[in-house]
């Protein structure tokens, strides 16, 4: 073998080693933070302040080899999935290394795919993928889709055989819709939140149903088998969970909207097998109460919002340790800076972002940012009658831009920069293509995916994509 070919082989081997090392660092990152980084800077460190996951993220060796050029040779990282729960890293090999072919390849949490990350890109613009029909496959999806093994999974509030909600899956192109499970009341009903995947099993909650009709926690296999009710809420330990479960250190955590010792909601944990349910915290009026969203993890601390309560009874932002200690109220909304937060916080560049339903200059809701220590609160955008109002979902970030939906008056999809500039309406919903989206968007390939609660051919809601 010539010296030139030896060098080419060495560069390809380094590319594969680089990607695998980056993937290892990313797994450490998500273990501590609950999500993958929104962006990374090649040549710089991967860290969250005091915790360093990689001293220096490697850059692709040069020159390009084989059919790779100066563009495809560069490593490109894109965070994808709900709440940055997945990623894609593009890289290019001059020759085959092991089972990885020459040319463009794509690294994901599932491994290295023998294809370009762009091969499955979705055409730009809006596409309605599915119409819910009510009795057969469900109606009124309020939560968000999740991605697992290249399929989307989600839940509907109503519909199905028992009219108490369903679990379903669908391919990203809209084919292969399958109803996996019908809720029946005893095992739960009205799932408002999202599914979460852990060890190839889905976990979720229903807001009602169960023994006391106060909600349940359940698990189910991705093929629809093995449904197991793990817990019945009973008011003392909380009732009516409207948000999602999160996974942290092999344990499920969540919140209830009501119940507990003070009747204002709780924070709890439970093992994936249903044992070890522990109420970690009881909300009271001064801390905030009636949380509708979910917890997030940042630097091994949980952050969340309560819709009501606090000093002004307009809601609060808080943090708490995973063991239930050191609950700290970070901020009291006062009306002019927003009121009644509804949804989840988003971490971007070590800053928390979120939305409120009301308050602000027009009393129609705001987008805000705040530091994790509670300082630096800034209202970065006021919703109004023209650009929409009353947000009930959460923001997501893709390529350093925020995306979201508003459900009022049919609703629309929007984007906005992290500094509050360049608010842009991307798509108006209008009945037949769906109306009133209340869940969160997720990113897959180069497209936004989501659900609407009503509208479509059967007025039972839709599943859609919007290619960017």
Tell me the average pLDDT of the chain: 92
| For residue 439, pLDDT beyond 80 | yes
Q: Answer whether residue 54 is part of any domain.
A: yes
- Report pLDDT digits (tens) over 168-189: 999 998 999 999 999 999 999 9
Both 318 and 268 in one domain: the answer is: yes
Q: Answer whether residue 119 is part of any domain.
A: no
Q: Which of 450, 445, 350 is nearest to 80 (CA)?
A: 445
- Report pLDDT digits (tens) over 130-161: 999 988 899 999 999 999 888 999 999 999 99
The two three-digit tokens of residue 258, written as one number: 């009501």
| For residue 120, pLDDT beyond 60 | no
Q: Which of 53, 88, 113 is the last residue of a domain?
A: 113
pLDDT of 119 reads 57
| For residue 84, pLDDT beyond 90 | no
For 234-245, what is the mean pLDDT? 95
Both 160 and 29 in one domain: the answer is: no
- What band does 372 get if pLDDT is binned at 50, 70 and 90? very high
Both 51 and 132 in one domain: the answer is: no
| For residue 69, pLDDT beyond 90 | no
Both 91 and 141 in one domain: the answer is: no
- What band does 446 get if pLDDT is binned at 50, 70 and 90? confident
Q: Which of 71, 89, 113 is the last residue of a domain?
A: 113
pLDDT of 1 reads 59
pLDDT of 440 reads 93
| For residue 99, pLDDT beyond 90 | no
Number of domains in the chain: 2
pLDDT of 123 reads 65
Q: Answer whether residue 434 is part of any domain.
A: yes
Both 68 and 183 in one domain: the answer is: no
Both 11 and 130 in one domain: the answer is: no
- Report pLDDT digits (tens) over 329-370: 999 999 999 999 999 999 999 999 999 999 999 999 999 999
Q: Answer whether residue 333 is part of any domain.
A: yes
Q: Answer whether residue 408 is part of any domain.
A: yes
Both 252 and 393 in one domain: the answer is: yes
Q: Which of 22-26, 59-63, 176-180, 386-390 has the lowest mean pLDDT?
A: 386-390
pLDDT of 275 reads 98
Collect all residues with Cβ–Cβ distance below 8 Å to 451 and sequence separation of at least 6.
141, 142, 143, 144, 145, 154, 434, 437, 439, 461, 462, 463, 464
| For residue 81, pLDDT beyond 70 | no
- What band does 122 get if pLDDT is binned at 50, 70 and 90? low
| For residue 387, pLDDT beyond 90 | no
Both 245 and 290 in one domain: the answer is: yes
DSSP string, 22-64: HHHHHHHHHHHHSS--S---TTS-EEETTEEEESSPPPPPSS-
Both 307 and 456 in one domain: the answer is: yes
Q: Answer whether residue 118 is part of any domain.
A: no
DSSP 251: E
Both 392 and 244 in one domain: the answer is: yes
Domain range for 300: 125-467
Q: Answer whether residue 308 is part of any domain.
A: yes
**Looking at residue 423, which CATH number applies to its domain?**
2.120.10.30
Q: Percent of the chain having pLDDT more than 90?
A: 73
| For residue 82, pLDDT beyond 60 | no
Collect all residues with Cβ–Cβ distance below 8 Å to 345 and sequence separation of at least 6.
293, 296, 303, 304, 305, 317, 352, 353, 354, 394
The model's pTM: 0.78
Both 180 and 89 in one domain: the answer is: no
pLDDT of 222 reads 96
Both 166 and 36 in one domain: the answer is: no
Q: Answer whether residue 120 is part of any domain.
A: no
Q: How many whole angstroms separate alpha carbon 131 and alpha carbon 137?
A: 9
Q: Which of 93, 113, 133 is the last residue of a domain?
A: 113
- Report pLDDT digits (tens) over 274-317: 999 999 999 999 999 999 999 999 999 999 999 999 999 999 99
| For residue 121, pLDDT beyond 60 | no
Instruction: Find where tokens 């097998």 sit.
Output: 273
Q: How many whole angstroms separate alpha carbon 160 and alpha carbon 144?
A: 18
- What band does 113 get if pLDDT is binned at 50, 70 and 90? confident
């Amino acid at each position: 073998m010539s010296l030139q070919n030896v060098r080419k082989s060495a560069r390809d081997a380094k590319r594969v080693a680089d990607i695998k090392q980056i993937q290892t660092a990313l797994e450490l990152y998500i273990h501590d933070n609950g999500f993958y980084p929104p962006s990374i800077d090649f040549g710089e460190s991967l860290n969250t302040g005091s915790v360093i996951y990689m001293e220096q993220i490697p850059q692709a060796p040069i020159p390009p080899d084989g059919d790779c050029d100066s563009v495809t040779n560069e490593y490109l990282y894109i965070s994808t999935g709900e709440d940055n729960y997945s990623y894609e890293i593009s890289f290019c090999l001059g020759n085959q290394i092991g089972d990885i072919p020459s040319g463009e390849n794509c690294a994901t949490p599932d491994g290295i795919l023998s294809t370009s990350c762009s091969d499955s890109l979705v055409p730009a613009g809006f596409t309605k993928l599915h119409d819910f029909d009510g009795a057969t496959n469900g109606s009124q999806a309020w939560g968000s889709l999740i991605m697992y093994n290249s399929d989307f999974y989600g839940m509907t509030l109503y519909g199905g055989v028992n009219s108490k909600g369903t679990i379903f899956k669908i391919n990203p192109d809209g084919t292969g819709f399958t109803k996996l499970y019908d809720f029946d009341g005893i095992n739960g009903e009205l799932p408002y939140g999202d599914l979460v995947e852990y060890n190839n099993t889905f976990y979720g909650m229903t807001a009602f149903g169960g023994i006391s009709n106060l909600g349940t926690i359940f698990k189910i296999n991705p093929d629809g088998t093995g449904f197991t009710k793990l817990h019945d809420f009973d008011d003392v330990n909380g009732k009516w969970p409207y948000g999602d479960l999160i996974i942290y250190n092999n344990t499920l955590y969540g919140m209830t909207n009501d119940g507990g010792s003070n009747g204002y909601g709780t924070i709890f944990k439970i093992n994936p097998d249903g044992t070890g349910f522990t109420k970690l915290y009881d909300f009271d009026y001064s801390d905030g109460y009636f949380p509708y969203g979910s917890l997030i993890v940042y630097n091994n601390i949980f952050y969340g919002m309560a819709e009501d309560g606090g000093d002004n009874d307009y809601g609060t932002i808080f943090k708490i340790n995973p063991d239930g200690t050191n609950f700290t109220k970070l901020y009291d909304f006062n009306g002019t800076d927003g009121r009644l937060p509804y949804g989840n916080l988003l971490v971007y560049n070590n800053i928390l972002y979120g939305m409120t339903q009301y308050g602000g200059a027009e009393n129609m809701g705001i987008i805000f940012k705040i530091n994790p220590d509670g300082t630096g609160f800034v209202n970065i955008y006021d919703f109004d009658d023209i650009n929409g109002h009353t947000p009930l979902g959460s923001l997501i970030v893709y390529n350093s831009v925020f995306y979201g939906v508003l459900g009022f008056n049919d609703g629309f999809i929007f984007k906005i920069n992290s500094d509050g500039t360049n608010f842009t309406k991307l798509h108006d919903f209008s009945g037949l293509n769906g109306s009133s989206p209340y869940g969160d968007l997720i990113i897959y390939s180069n497209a936004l995916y989501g659900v609407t609660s009503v509208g479509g051919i059967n007025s039972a809601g839709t599943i859609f994509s919007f290619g960017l």
